[in-house]
Amino acid sequence: MKKILIIEDDNNLNKGLSIALNKEYEIFSVNTISKAKNFIDDADLILLDMNLPDGDGLEIIKYTRESSSIPIIVLSAIDLEAYIISAINLGADDYLTKPFSLGILEAKIKRAFEKIVP
């Protein structure tokens, strides 16, 4: 079963995503960058919020890309073009602004997993 790491500090959104995605994927759920670093090596995909209590999500993208090419899908309320471009240039595979459609997110997750060569 594919493993998704959810890095989201909004407890309601984190729990909702975990419940919705738990049917098809194993879920690791954290709310800080420091906790996320403990699970990155075990994940097959990361869902990443950018505004976290202990830093900016761009830090996680940089950290992950130092050793891994796993898909990273950003879920953020930040809709500034320059910020989105920065996230993608650092290595994010996709960027959805909040609020977002769960159906669209699920389609993007499936597409990201299809691109991974076993």
Report whether pLDDT(28) > 90: yes
Q: How confident is the model at residue 118 (pLDDT cuts 50, 70, 90)?
A: low
Q: Would you state the pLDDT for residue 47?
A: 98
The band of 117, judged by pLDDT with boundaries at 50, 70 and 90, is low
Spatial neighbors of 110 by CB under 8 A, at least 6 apart, are: none
In this prediction, residue 115 carries a pLDDT of 81
Q: Which residue has the tokens 């996680």?
A: 60
pLDDT tens track for 48-104: 999 999 999 999 999 999 999 999 999 999 999 999 999 999 999 999 999 999 999
Q: What is the mean pLDDT of residues 21-37?
A: 96
Supply the pLDDT for residue 12. 97
Phi-psi label, residue 56: left if phi above 0, alpha if psi -120 to 50, beta otherwise: beta
Classify burial at 52, counting beta carbons within 10 Å of its beta carbon; exposed 0-12, middle 13-18, buried 19 or more. buried
Count of CA atoms in the C-beta half-sphere (13 A) of 5: 24
Q: From the options 3.40.710.10, 3.40.50.2300, 1.10.599.10, 1.10.340.30, give the CATH code of 3-115.
A: 3.40.50.2300
Strands 55-56 and 51-52: antiparallel
Render 6-31 in DSSP notation, one character per residue: EE-S-HHHHHHHHHHHTTTSEEEEES
Domain spans of the chain, in order of start: 3-115
Whole-angstrom Cα distance, residue 115 to residue 78?
26
* pLDDT at residue 7 tops 70: yes
